[in-house]
Structure 1
């Protein structure tokens, strides 16, 4: 019955005036095509607590937006093509249509007449998304930078604040921010070059760590927290990079060697298994299961003659038991997905908090998928072991790093689909069957202008249940003046 009413409503737009305001327009003709808009919010699924999805009509004509929900209608006048929702009107629209659909018609003026494009829909999911998103903003360069920082965005509005900016420590590199269970009360990130060290924050207590030991090839690199908050899994890597003059993948980052270890935040010790620290394999990108008793990671057969043989490095998805009671490992490794059998390579495994699905990035070779144009998001059903692409979320360009929401219904991921150069955060709804729905670009007040002018890439988008409250100046003071805590091997 609801669909019948919506059909009648759309027909009425062609001949009738929508009487919700004295300046409302009358549509006298239909345009048999969909409008070109940016961002492409047509038929996306969104959380009801997301910030308003403002967008621009890309034509030059005077334009209006007509919006209809289950029991309300409104019209918005386009200003230089931009349709901007008020915060209160958007919130009311989302609340009233939670679990339903809103319908939108873009109308344009030709002479004295208004023509209406084909309508499109925004689906409003009944599940919320985590309140905050954090990320690093970094120029899309390779070795040099002048400024970068870690930032957090309130997803219910457009407010962005700094977690840490490198101008506080002479422009050093800050990277690899990570949180325990998406809660920044327990978090860490690395600082490299001047004032280098690993920052570990637990309940507002800040520590600076020296994580290089005589038994490991490097300082600790790619992190993932144990759900208990007692441990962090890391890779250690000897990493190099090469550049291409005439190749769609502009840069290739590769390992000469790598291992996986686990760090105890209380004792400042690391432990490992011979199965995760082998000269015959490159191990990287660890992640714990939600119950804390499995450690997943990527592993490739070690390859000599790098970088000449970089295309031969292909990573599989592995799992080993982990005992949090005594920080020990199992005596065998399971292969969850043998990517080389399919001529592919795996990176960034991430398990949904409900433990049902594991998402990863799949690409032709190596592990630096953020510059691989063939990189796509894939999913493993951990009950049936079925592996399949997240087709609705993927694009023709890079789709790579990803992070789950606390309720396992949302995933944010980085993509270069907008222009092939800058990574931007997209959010996709993951339904109970593990299927992705059409993703939407992170909302902004004026997204066309914002993303056109932003000369930074979003790196490592991570959802958070609350904002970081530790002062960046306290972090800078720790990096500059505090004595390092030396990490040792158990």
Structure 2
């Protein structure tokens, strides 16, 4: 009886909604697909992604009427100022059409006239995302100073965002580089800069605070990357500076007067130094371990008299063997992408966890790619050694700061393609044959309103397999205690 009453109530609600529906009349046909924001036309999504809500790109449109039908069955509807789909109905539709597609029909009203556009499709990937959400830093794209910033996590199946730690809880200090071991929420590291600076390491349910700067290393510990065993973490140590442009399409230049790469043993609390990756004549940077833990990738360039000649600073991609048992680094360095041959610079190497590919950013010079409009994503096939730009993923503006999902079928990256000012978070996928899909913007409930009001950039993003459990107040207390392991 309860089930009958429940279905009767749902039917009544559906009739009431239908009675209040816009029901476009006297529709004019438009011989093209709609211009929508975000541009979700032809994208490929996992079944566990939040609804792809959207608006008409033109603000003169006041109403929208959208029907979505699954090729394998099922349909949903949204109408109003923007397409706001029911979360549960959206997920049911995607699950029913896994490996198939959705057909989206859009009718929109402008100056009292309804326009019917050509339908477009959204592909539903057969490959699940298998990640709970993402983590990232949000920061204003300032040049010399910073204000409010924080480390956040976002559930990808809905629109829930929570703060892991904000700098208001550590008296306005700078925080960056929250880095997990293969999206593991229970093993991560991040940095705090300033008066109470620290490198915070969380593992085995405990927090350990290391000195953020070690004079014997010649700089601060930055750009971490975990060894898959969890015992080691590679860092670079950088002396970073910046300068400003006045006459081109770049605003700021970030460079290192020197840098090295080292490995930290989490069990023995030892810094593993090696001359091959800590040389005086070369600046090693941006390390990353291979998924089997046998290689350490990094970028390197000859040291120079900076900032003089900064446009000639071009990093090559290299790797060196690593022995997990002894913590020893090999005796030879392999060059995988040679800057002398390409005439370009490499930064942010990130190998896929299945060992097939290595994604990196290529730019004209330097390594701080977020400020370089020409920066593009490239894919290196680790079996063949072939490398190529990621066509269909790159834009005319900066692409950078990328990471893989655990199943290596999905990846995220930041891009300034939206307005050229703020980095936003995008997702794409790669199939068994290496084919890439059109990227889609991180969904928001009301995306046009959200992104227009958001005066912050997404930075250092990564996937997380489950929510990161943090106590911000307790973490702030630990950071301000100044108790550090040397």
Task: Say if 2:347 and 2:362, in contact at 8 Å, map to a contact too.
Answer: yes
Paired residue for 1:139?
Answer: 140
Change over 3 Å in CA distance of 1:482–1:65 after alignment to 2: same
Shift of 1:467: 1.2
2:219 match: secondary structure: coil
Cα distance in 2 for partners of 1:103, 1:296 equals: 43
Task: Say if 2:236 and 2:259, in contact at 8 Å, map to a contact too.
Answer: yes
Deviations, residues 346-372 of structure 1 (Å, cap 9, x unaligned): 000001110101000000000010110
- Is 2:200 the counterpart of 1:222? no
Change over 3 Å in CA distance of 1:213–1:67 after alignment to 2: closer
Task: Say if 2:349 and 2:358, in contact at 8 Å, map to a contact too.
Answer: yes
Paired residue for 2:182?
Answer: 181
Change over 3 Å in CA distance of 1:332–1:136 after alignment to 2: same
- Is 2:343 the counterpart of 1:358? no
Cα distance in 2 for partners of 1:436, 1:195 equals: 44
Task: Say if 2:76 and 2:89, in contact at 8 Å, map to a contact too.
Answer: no
Shift of 1:247: 2.2
Q: Structure 1 runs of 4+ off > 4 angstroms?
A: 20-29, 109-114
- Is 2:404 the counterpart of 1:404? yes
Deviations, residues 256-294 of structure 1 (Å, cap 9, x unaligned): 111110001111111122111111111000000001010
1:451 match: secondary structure: helix
Cα distance in 2 for partners of 1:424, 1:371 equals: 14
Cα distance in 2 for partners of 1:58, 1:381 equals: 38
- Is 2:97 the counterpart of 1:97? yes
Paired residue for 2:242?
Answer: 241
Paired residue for 1:457?
Answer: 457
Paired residue for 2:166?
Answer: 165
Change over 3 Å in CA distance of 1:160–1:110 after alignment to 2: closer
Instruction: Give the CA RMSD over aligned residues.
Output: 1.7
Change over 3 Å in CA distance of 1:86–1:311 after alignment to 2: same
Alignment of structure 1 residues 35-74 onto 2, 5 Å: 35-59=34-58, 60=61, 62-69=63-70, 70-74=72-76
Alignment of structure 1 residues 277-292 onto 2, 5 Å: 277-292=278-293
Paired residue for 2:29?
Answer: 30
Cα distance in 2 for partners of 1:361, 1:408 equals: 18
Cα distance in 2 for partners of 1:478, 1:112 equals: 59
1:474 match: secondary structure: helix
Alignment: residue pair count = 464
Paired residue for 1:337?
Answer: 337
Cα distance in 2 for partners of 1:341, 1:136 equals: 35
Deviations, residues 400-446 of structure 1 (Å, cap 9, x unaligned): 11010011011110000111011000001111223321000000000
Shift of 1:74: 3.4
Cα distance in 2 for partners of 1:118, 1:128 equals: 29
Paired residue for 1:75?
Answer: 77
Cα distance in 2 for partners of 1:240, 1:261 equals: 21
1:168 match: secondary structure: helix
Task: Say if 1:357 and 1:434, in contact at 8 Å, map to a contact too.
Answer: no
Shift of 1:30: 2.8
Q: TM-score, normalised by structure 2?
A: 0.92
Paired residue for 2:308?
Answer: 308
Cα distance in 2 for partners of 1:189, 1:57 equals: 39
Deviations, residues 292-326 of structure 1 (Å, cap 9, x unaligned): 0100000112222x112101110010010000101
Shift of 1:75: 3.1
Alignment of structure 1 residues 264-279 onto 2, 5 Å: 264-279=265-280
Paired residue for 1:5?
Answer: none
Shift of 1:61: 5.0
1:62 match: secondary structure: strand
Change over 3 Å in CA distance of 1:107–1:309 after alignment to 2: same
Task: Say if 1:131 and 1:155, in contact at 8 Å, map to a contact too.
Answer: yes
Cα distance in 2 for partners of 1:212, 1:252 equals: 23
Shift of 1:220: 1.2
Paired residue for 2:467?
Answer: 467
Shift of 1:181: 1.5
1:485 match: secondary structure: coil
Change over 3 Å in CA distance of 1:398–1:95 after alignment to 2: same
Cα distance in 2 for partners of 1:236, 1:269 equals: 15
Shift of 1:339: 2.7
Cα distance in 2 for partners of 1:236, 1:96 equals: 49
Paired residue for 2:232?
Answer: 231
- Is 2:219 the counterpart of 1:208? no
Cα distance in 2 for partners of 1:111, 1:168 equals: 48
1:219 match: secondary structure: strand
Change over 3 Å in CA distance of 1:454–1:334 after alignment to 2: same
Change over 3 Å in CA distance of 1:244–1:468 after alignment to 2: same
Cα distance in 2 for partners of 1:95, 1:39 equals: 23
Task: Say if 1:409 and 1:429, in contact at 8 Å, map to a contact too.
Answer: yes
Cα distance in 2 for partners of 1:317, 1:472 equals: 37
Change over 3 Å in CA distance of 1:62–1:202 after alignment to 2: closer
Cα distance in 2 for partners of 1:298, 1:31 equals: 51
Paired residue for 2:11?
Answer: none
Task: Say if 2:220 and 2:239, in contact at 8 Å, map to a contact too.
Answer: no
Cα distance in 1 for partners of 2:18, 2:214 equals: 69
Change over 3 Å in CA distance of 1:211–1:101 after alignment to 2: same
Gaps of 5+ in 2: 1-16
Cα distance in 1 for partners of 2:254, 2:115 equals: 51
Task: Say if 1:199 and 1:207, in contact at 8 Å, map to a contact too.
Answer: yes
1:93 match: secondary structure: helix
Q: TM-score, normalised by structure 1?
A: 0.92
Cα distance in 1 for partners of 2:397, 2:112 equals: 42
Gaps of 5+ in 1: 1-19
